[in-house]
Amino acid sequence: MAMAFLPPWLLVSLLILLPISTVAQSNGNITAGDSLIAAANSSSWLSPSGDFAFGFSPHSDKDFFLLSIWFANIPDRTIVWYANGDKPAPRGSKVELTADRGLVLTDPQDQQLWSSQTIIGTVASGVMTDEGNFVLQDREFTTVWESFNSPTTPTDTLLPTQNLTRGGVLSSRQSETNFSTGRFRLRLQQDGNLVLVTVNLPTDYANEAYYASGTTSSGDPNPSSPGRVLVFNESGYMFILRDNGQQVRLTQGQPVESSADFYFRATLNFDGVFTLYSHPKASNSNRSWSPLWSLPENICVASLVSEGIGVCGYNSICTLKADGRPMCGCPRGYSLLDPDDQYGSCKPDFIPGCEEDRLSPPGEDLYTWEDLTNTDWPSSDYALLRPCTENQCRQSCLEDCMCAVAIFRLGNSCWKKKLPLSNGRVDSSLNGGKALIKIRKNNSTLPVPDPPSDQYPEPKKKNQHTLILIGLVLLGGSAFVIVILIVAVCLGRFSFIYHNKQPKIIANASSVQLNLRCFTYKELEEATDGFKEELGKGAFGVVYKGTIQMGSSVHVAVKKLNNSFQDGEREFRTEVSVIGQTHHKNLVRLLGFCDEGQQRLLVYEFLSNGTLAGFLFGDLKPSWNRRIEIAIGIARGLLYLHEECSSPIIHCDIKPQNILLDDYYNARIADFGLAKLLMMNQSHTNTAIRGTKGYVAPDWFRHMPITAKVDVYSYGVVLLEIICCRKSVCMESDLEDKAILTDWAYDCYQEGTLDALLEYDAEALDDRKRMEKFVKVAFWCIQEDPSLRPTMRKVTQMLDEVVEVLVPPY
């Protein structure tokens, strides 16, 4: 109320000063007890010049933030240091400068996410310097911690005056927008060698270096002078300083810009290229960051390693762009394993292998070729033919079921390679050498059924009728002709009306997914040998194993829907439309369908390792790590169904019998027969109870709206089954209190007896921290109140350890 009585000039002054106070409250110096809150327009701690800011940066997920340092005067925020890349801070989190622990980052529930781990001395103040270094000092102004030298928080960027000593490391991020730890490292080793390496995540095991400075004691004429420190001076020059004082520049090209007019940074990019950049300081400049030099000069050629993968994933090809950065792509006949990871591995769009060749008719031309010049996968050889012509090279690979690619070098050499192919690259030094890629015919794109005649445009038919009537008038002199034409028109019209009354299931289904194949019932009867080998059955049909010809023999699973099921037609349409629009590595792929009279069948890809139920509840307990991967895969598949499809989908029957395992034991969600397809403007639906005893959420029995949270509940039950390797309901148990897994698991959790719950599984108990975290995630999922259950996005974040898992309520 007092504001209303202030003079107008004072009100204007306060409004002008208000935004300034939110961004420049510290002027470089922060005292113990000061804090910042993660929010959309939160304040930051600026350096005295205003060049650098410390605070919260928005994350790619709008509800999370990154504790970071960035260039404050550049419109496109460039982050140079970050503390919590693997654990983004939720909105409302706080970073506080404390006297005993330094910087402490906590979430809204006051759970610690990160700290600077200052344990020597007492912190009196913090300083955001003009060099971009955040420094903590004691009462004597002695530095007790600094962002420039934080071994427990390696980031991806060096700034001028920031040096890298022996044992120092830079770690790339996973992508341009994902700040989780990536797989590339820049290290100054203890022997003085500066190297760029890939590591095999989630471990820190390093493969062979794809760049090395050679500044080791063994490579120096003076054996006592290995590299001591990587220096990045104020002028933007970068060199390795040896013990004897000798300087070894990283590249010949050094900055020509003045540090007074330009910012500099050196960043290990997410694609493994270490690059020095400059940016003008002038506020009116429209230039962005310009690369001055990079290491290695050609990462596609330099990234050869004997183990693991290079800059691109398996079966991929690396091409160098004009800016010195790599571009990855799949050859024809292959596609990305993860469509969202352009630098990931490629998978064949056909079924490779000797078994498929053996089942194909003899003498059939099964393959076609993709020829790529100056392309090679150098580390995937298994046979060398020499001397050999190009035709002999092709023929040898064609007749060898293990051969995926043959490399023919001009001259007389032929290298045969098998999957997976690693370190693929375009390399001009191959002087015209060819990569001969063998691709199976007619196995990835399935034929489309011809549209029924009733799909032709109605106006065309009306025009035809009009022309006939005009003809009648013109032929009025012949009564006989008129009669004949009238009869023809009537018969045609009757045929048209009758035809339009027929079911349009095939048209509806075929228009959903253009690569679905329409089978006849006879084809599928022959493919399954008269529906002989049963794979499983459910409430809506039986699944049989079969073999069909799609360029070659392909094993399939054919689901024959029950004719007696009253909702069979609706079930069929739902399943075809839902599966036809989905594409994810954790979902089973639909290959085709049959709709013939009362016969409705679905044709799926056949997955060799059966159901998750058979995997979990057999005589031998599967490995803990494989169970963990399966649990995460199911969660990602459900996340895709709930949030990432064009139309969100509720599965409604998540259970181990509906989870299949492929050749590599990747989890694949199957059976969308119960799925409810939600429209974009529809958040919930009420329907009859669907699902399976033991996995059904209580929402179904309480006349509550049915949302995606019913799948979350079922997933929680399945997650407990994966952890414990036992069924959710086990009435054969001697003890009644163990019959219901969810109840027994919570009792064990409360009593601290999870060892008994896991039947003393040594492998799982050795990973106790993660095991307990997964148990807590399961309890969050099976909360009776749907509003307390997390979304599947939050579940995946908890499983991936991106967010903290709090103690679940009872």
Please determine, for residue 451, whether its predicted confidence score (pLDDT) is greater than 80: no
Residues 6+ apart with CB under 8 A from 18: none
List the binding residues: 560
Handedness of CA 608, 613, 619, 620 (dihedral sign): positive
Residue 727's nearest CA partner among 623, 632, 656, 777 is: 656
Q: Examine the pLDDT at 677 and tell me if it is beyond 80.
A: no
Kindly give, in sequence order, each residue whose CB lies less than 8 Å from that of residue 526, ignoring residues fewer than 6 positions away. none
What tokens were used for 37?
Answer: 């809150």
Q: In Å, how far from its chain's centre is CA 347?
A: 15
pLDDT tier for residue 730 given thresholds of 50, 70 and 90: confident
pLDDT of 453 above 80? no
Nearest to 413 by CA among 432, 438, 437: 432
Coil, helix or strand at residue 300: helix
Rounded Cα–Cα distance for residues 407 and 429 (Å): 14
Count of alpha carbons within 13 angstroms of residue 648, beta-carbon side: 18
Is pLDDT larger for residue 681 or for residue 191?
191
> What is d(CA 86, CA 801) in angstroms, rounded to the nearest whole number?
8
Give the tokens for residue 463.
């025009």
Q: Are 694 and 700 in contact (CB under 8 A)?
A: no
Q: Which helix H or strand E contains 295, and what residues bound it?
A: strand 290-295
Q: What confidence tier does 6 reach under pLDDT thresholds 50, 70, 90? A: very low
End-to-end CA distance of the chain: 46
Answer yes or no: is pLDDT of 658 > 60. Answer: yes
Question: What would the two tokens of residue 531 be?
Answer: 């529906």
Number of H helices and E strands in the chain, helices first, is 17, 46
The residue ranges of DSSP E strands in 300-441, in sequence order, are 317-320, 326-329, 334-336, 346-348, 367-373, 375-376, 381-385, 405-409, 413-417, 425-426, 434-440
Question: Could you read off the pLDDT of 17-72 as tens digits, one per residue?
Answer: 333 333 444 455 888 889 999 988 888 999 998 999 999 998 877 789 999 999 99
Q: Indicate the range of 34-48, 289-303, 487-501 predicted with least confidence.
A: 487-501
Residues contacting 39, CB < 8 A, separation 6+: 56, 91, 92
Residue 415 has what pLDDT?
92
Whether residue 320 has pLDDT greater than 70: yes
Which of 723, 802, 797, 791 is closest to 755 using CA atoms?
723
Q: What angle do CA 519, 522, 528 make, to 5 degrees?
A: 90
Please tell me the predicted confidence (pLDDT) of residue 569. 61
Q: Which amino acid is at 519?
A: F
Residues 158, 169 contacting (CB under 8 angstroms): no
Write 137-144 long-range contacts (CB < 8 A, 24+): 144/102, 144/118, 144/120
**Residues classed as catalytic:** 653
Question: Does residue 101 sit in helix, strand or coil?
Answer: coil
CA 137, CA 124: separation in Å to the nearest integer? 6
Question: What is the pLDDT, as a whole number, of residue 95?
Answer: 94
Sign (positive/negative) of CA torsion 387, 393, 399, 400? Answer: positive
Helix ranges (H only) for 189-284 are none
CA–CA distance, 305 with 210 (Å, rounded to integer): 7
Question: Which class for 760: exposed (0-12), middle (13-18), buried (19 or more C-beta within 10 A)?
Answer: exposed
- Scanning the structure block, which residue is given the tokens 């911690």? 145
| Region at 597 (left for phi over 0; alpha for psi -120 to 50; beta for the rest) | left
- pLDDT surpassing 70 at residue 537: yes
Q: What are the pLDDT digits (tens) for 381-424?
A: 889 998 899 999 999 998 888 899 999 987 789 999 988 888 88
Residue 117 has pLDDT above 50, yes or no: yes
Looking at the predicted structure, is the pLDDT value of residue 442 above 80? no
| More confident: 237 or 706 | 237
Tell which residue, 615, 591, 619, 623, has the closest CA to residue 605: 591
8-state DSSP, 640: I
pLDDT, tens digit (0-9, with 9 covering 90-100), for 64-95? 999 999 999 888 889 999 998 888 999 999 99
The three-state (H, E, C) secondary structure of 433-493, written as one string: CEEEEEEECCCCCCCCCCCCHHHCCHHHHHHHHHHHHHHHHHCCCCHHHHHHHHHHHHHHH
Q: Which band of pLDDT confidence, cut at 50, 70 and 90, is reported for residue 667? A: very high
Lookup: tokens for 660: 């299949």
Alpha helices (H) in 559-604, listed in sequence order: 568-580
Task: State yes or no: pLDDT of 304 exceeds 50.
Answer: yes
Number of other residues whose CB lies within 10 A of the CB of residue 508: 14
Q: Tell me what pLDDT residue 446 has.
A: 35
Return d(Cα 456, Cα 41) in angstroms, integer: 57
For the stretch 127-163, pLDDT in tens is 999 999 999 988 888 888 899 988 777 789 999 999 9
How far apart are the C-alpha atoms of 45 and 25, rounded to whole Å? 7
Q: How confident is the model at residue 509 (pLDDT cuts 50, 70, 90)?
A: very low
Give strand ranges (E) for 109-155: 112-115, 125-128, 134-137, 143-146
Reported confidence tier of residue 539, pLDDT bands at 50, 70, 90: low
Q: Which residues carry a binding-site annotation for ATP?
A: 560
* Average of per-residue pLDDT values in the chain: 78
Query: Tell me, what's the pLDDT at 736?
Result: 67
User: What is the average pLDDT across 715-731?
Assistant: 90
Least confident among 40-49, 357-366, 673-682, 753-762? 673-682
Residue 672 CA to residue 263 CA, distance in Å, equals: 55
617: CB partners within 8 A, 6+ apart? 656, 725, 726, 727
487 confidence band (pLDDT: 50, 70, 90): very low
Share of the chain above pLDDT 90, in %: 28
- Beta strand 434-440 with 367-373: parallel, antiparallel or unpaired? antiparallel
CA distance 316 to 311: 10
Q: Which two tokens stand for residue 273?
A: 């290229």
**Segment 751-791, tens digit of pLDDT:** 888 888 888 788 888 888 899 999 999 999 999 988 899 99
Convert the pLDDT of each residue in 129-138 to its tens digit. 999 999 998 8
Average pLDDT over residues 470-490: 44
